[in-house]
Amino acid sequence: MSNPSLLILPGDGIGPEVMAEVRKIIDWFGAKRDLVFDVSEDLVGGAAYDAHGTPLTDATMARAQAVDAVLLGAVGGPKYDALDFSVKPERGLLRLRKEMDLFANLRPAQCFDALADFSSLKKDIVAGLDIMIVRELTSGVYFGEPRGIFTEGNERVGINTQRYTESEIARVARSAFELARKRGNKVCSMEKANVMESGILWREVVQKIHDDEYPDVELSHMYADAGAMQLTRWPKQFDVIVTDNLFGDLLSDLAAMLTGSLGMLPSASLGLPMANGRPKALYEPVHGSAPDIAGKALANPIACILSFAMALRYSFDLGTEADRLEAAVQKVLADGLRTADLMGPEGGSPVSTGAMGDAVVAALDASLN
């Protein structure tokens, strides 16, 4: 039996730095747990543009289609702001998502006990928070036609079209219900059925999928603006939230900041199963490329490390090892180690990117005792 395959795309800014710490984790699993991955590496984003004049080559796209999972660091930076829209670094990421048909974006919002004081909300509201937002990723207003900037009379008008088919809604709904069965068995679907026809269809399709296939899962519906309010009022009422591309973009960033640090959160983008039964998948930290701190050993690698933990769980069916890695991160934070982004007002000495990665490896070693 062949080893599971993983394509690493470090990208731009702090991407290569945080990915170097993930490579330490991958090496640890090979040496200590006999879990050997066939790892390859390639370019994406600005790094690919610098080398090839495109943010993603056809050859890299083909490699991404062939492996069991893709792990991406970050793309973009002010260096590329003047590029034509068609070759901006972010187009490489969007092409990966679109051509791999990664329609379900999983964004966990988990508040580690050691970091509960970092949230802008009161500690009792966020302590123990563990929710999952499932965002539809390949359709909706970001992809609908017609779109563009046109001239009507003597002025310009910008047009974007919100468009969803029943099948697009159904498959992301199924992803949410399947996840809920492994968690708290509760799904809240968010849309704007009060003012948008696409929202009406969304609600009807999600309800039908529930009634026909997942009647054991608790389902509720909520308007997306009310959902935003409830996320800041009492977020622990939710387990899995499923929503469309635009609202998912907004709500997942809101939920991320409930935890106190955007730099701590991973994500997964999943598609349909391949021939081996594994879903096509891309894993990436939520944070950006942070070019202002690139090369300074200040970046927090935990979001990228936790993205690999999600790969262990969702692509490789290694839930026990994913738990082990997440517990190692919890221990490091509980022991008081902090990178610069996690330093509180009391001050202290932050650890470097590499030192944080080394500490997670040490905690993994301790988990074997």
192 is catalytic: yes
| Active-site annotation holder among 249, 280, 314, 331 | 249
Sign of the four-CA dihedral 57, 59, 62, 67: negative
β-partners of residue 273 are 279
Pick from 97, 178, 176, 108: which is nearest to 140 by CA? 97
For residue 15, CA distances in Å to 85, 138, 180, 331, 341 come to: 22, 24, 31, 24, 16
Q: Are strands 218-223 and 240-243 parallel, antiparallel or unpaired?
A: unpaired
The DSSP annotation for 47-113 comes to HHHHHHSSSS-HHHHHHHHHSSEEEEEE---GGGTTS-GGGSHHHHHHHHHHHTT--EEEEEEE--G
Which residue stretches of the chain are H helix? Answer: 15-32, 46-52, 58-66, 89-99, 123-126, 166-181, 197-213, 224-233, 245-258, 302-314, 319-334, 353-367
| Active-site annotation holder among 27, 79, 101, 142 | 142
CB of 31 closer than 8 Å to CB of 64: no
341 is catalytic: no
What backbone phi and psi angles, to 5 degrees, belong to 107?
A: -120, 95
What backbone phi and psi angles, to 5 degrees, belong to 132?
A: -130, 125
80 is catalytic: no
CB of 57 closer than 8 Å to CB of 270: no
Q: Give the Cβ contact number of residue 288 at 10 Å.
A: 16
| Active-site annotation holder among 192, 214, 314, 341 | 192
CB of 49 closer than 8 Å to CB of 89: yes
225 is catalytic: yes
| Active-site annotation holder among 50, 101, 130, 253 | 253
| Active-site annotation holder among 27, 130, 225, 323 | 225
Pick from 119, 3, 45, 25: which is nearest to 324 by CA? 25
358 is catalytic: no
Q: In the structure encoding, which two tokens stand for residue 271, read together?
A: 């598609």
Pick from 243, 250, 155, 146: which is nearest to 198 by CA? 243
Give the active site residues: 142, 192, 225, 249, 253
